[in-house]
Chains A and B, each alone.
Chain A
Amino acid sequence: MVAMAESAISIRNLTKDFPVGISGKKLRAVEGLNLDVGDNEIFGLLGPNGSGKSTTIKIVLGLLEPSVGACTIYGKSSRTVAARRSVGFLPEAPYFYRYLSGRELVCYYARLCGVGKAGLAHDVDSVIDLVGMNEAAHRRVGTYSKGMLQRIGLAQAIVHDPQLIILDEPTAGVDPLGAAAIADIIRELKSRGKTILLSSHLLAQIEGLCDRVAILHRGKLVSEGRIDELVAEKQADSFVVEGLEPGGHAAVQKAIEAEGGRLVRVEKPRLSLDAFFLNEVQKRESAHEAAVVEKEDPK
């Protein structure tokens, strides 16, 4: 049994270097990453291309070994096969065996995950039902559209009832309706007590879906926290006023009423997640470029 207080994923001081060529040079993909994903939360991993998201996910899945640091899944080292028993994974732009039907594919992965023959049919049918693929389950995977591939991919990821589900760009290339359907499935999984680690470029969807996010840039953690906290402008309050300039609450309210207006609500002004993300990344990109220029030309 998994202790609920335990982190679903715990990453400590994680660094990953890749050798480049035979010169002994190394490319640092992830540097000193510390991250905790709590149980039963939807956690978004954001970052531009080459920021280290995929490397981090691969290390969490035990597909890569870290150069330094450690990663655990519910207390077990991610390097062990045992840790992957509680993990389901949907890769980016998934490709499956084209000659199998959707149902056969889910059966195959279920059996690989150790689902017994006794409960196999029930488990497979229930996940196919959850992802809304009942009508197409008998068709060969080779005939599926991109959205259907993502759905059947989601089914194979959750068929063995894992506690942690890792989704790499689950809505990439899927139309808005399909993306909304996948988002609904993710919410349903959370309501069933699952933990979801989500990597996506569709920030608007992340904003509406995730409890917390982390932003990576050039392998380093830039920001982490609840979306509300990250995107709120802490230094200012905003007044949504109909027809009047902002001011003190009471005075404004009085003034508004005196002037015949109405104070509708007082709230924290927010940046959109897109704006926050771009701001954070661009700020660091400019700093990085300036550092490179200074290094090349110290004058």
Chain B
Amino acid sequence: MSFLSPSRIRLIAANTFLEAVRQKFFNSLLFITLALVASSTFFQQFDFGTSELKFIADFGFGALFFFGSILAITVTTQLFFNEIENRTALTMLAKPVHKFDFLAGKLLGVQLLMLAFVCLLSFVLAGILYWRETVLMSQFGPETFSEGRILRYGDILIFGFLQWLKFGLLGAITLFVASFSNTNIYTIIVSFCILVVCQLQYIARDAYGDMEQGVGRLLVQGLGLIFPNFQLFNVGDQLLFTSQEALPAATILRITLYACVYIAGFLLLAHLSFRRREI
């Protein structure tokens, strides 16, 4: 079946990834993010005690979310419009390649890039936290660290994984906007607006919980369904410290499923829109 050909999607994804890592924007942003995460260790002079670890973790998680969101939107937009403006999409789609395979390959390529970004940042953050925790352990002794290390390092990977899913969702939304947009600047602005809406849509959810039955409630409910709830992925506060309970596997699975359903949905919407687009 030509529709949804895994081998073609893989080929397009690999080429997209190769193109993406060669871009100066990715390398610059990666460098800035790593520098920012590393700079969090300079705050030790404020003598936070063990709270320093929480500070570094929050700083790292914040940098991962902020720069990751910028990267997901801009790189998806750039790689899509590069293909359209340079007319390499024309050459590709004149071959036995379905338009859905093209979109899915682009998204997968961006996701590979985001995976590299998340992994690198997570390992750097974990390394910094491990180093600082070791220093603090020798500084504060057994009374603070009576039960050994206070950080669960595996949780950094869980946080990274959930952020990676969120970036995938953001990439799919951006691809959908790009599928009907004529310029990359329009795509970037609209996608950032949607990011803000998704990030704050829990307020609407709270609001319709208090509303009486009616058109208003239905409208808010509908909008709450159209725009995914990005707050679900913000689990940084519930992770990392051994004093807190670990995030249940069922919750991680539910969030993963939630992200996958929305990614598939936005990818299909992008396909419907892109199908009739003149290349």
Chain A residues proximal to chain B, CB less than 8 Å: 18, 58, 61-65, 81-82, 84-85, 87, 89, 91, 94-97, 99, 108-109, 111-114, 153, 156, 160, 166
Contact = CB atoms under 8 A, between A and B. Distances in A.
Contact of A95 (B3, B12, B88): B88
A99 B94 contact: no
B90 to A, nearest CB: 5
A63 B97 contact: no
Contacts of A166: 94
Interface of B: 2-3, 7-8, 11-12, 15, 18-19, 22, 86-88, 90-98, 276, 278-279
B165 to A, nearest CB: 28
Contacts of A82: 2, 96
Nearest to A57: B94
Contacts, number: 65
B84 to A, nearest CB: 11
Contacts of A156: 91
A94 B90 CA distance: 9
Nearest to B14: A108
Contacts of A85: 96
A111 B95 contact: no
A91 B87 contact: yes
A94 B91 contact: yes
Contact of A96 (B8, B22, B88): B88
A65 B279 CA distance: 11
B95 A84 contact: yes
Top 7 closest A-B pairs, CB basis? A89-B94, A81-B2, A95-B86, A84-B96, A61-B94, A85-B96, A81-B96
A112 B87 contact: no
A112 B279 CA distance: 18
Given A61-B93, A63-B90, A99-B22, 20 more contacts: A62-B94, A63-B94, A63-B279, A64-B278, A81-B2, A81-B97, A84-B94, A84-B95, A91-B91, A94-B91, A95-B88, A97-B15, A97-B19, A108-B11, A111-B11, A112-B96, A112-B97, A114-B96, A153-B91, A160-B95
Contacts of B96: 81-82, 84-85, 112-114
Contacts of B98: 81
Nearest to B22: A99
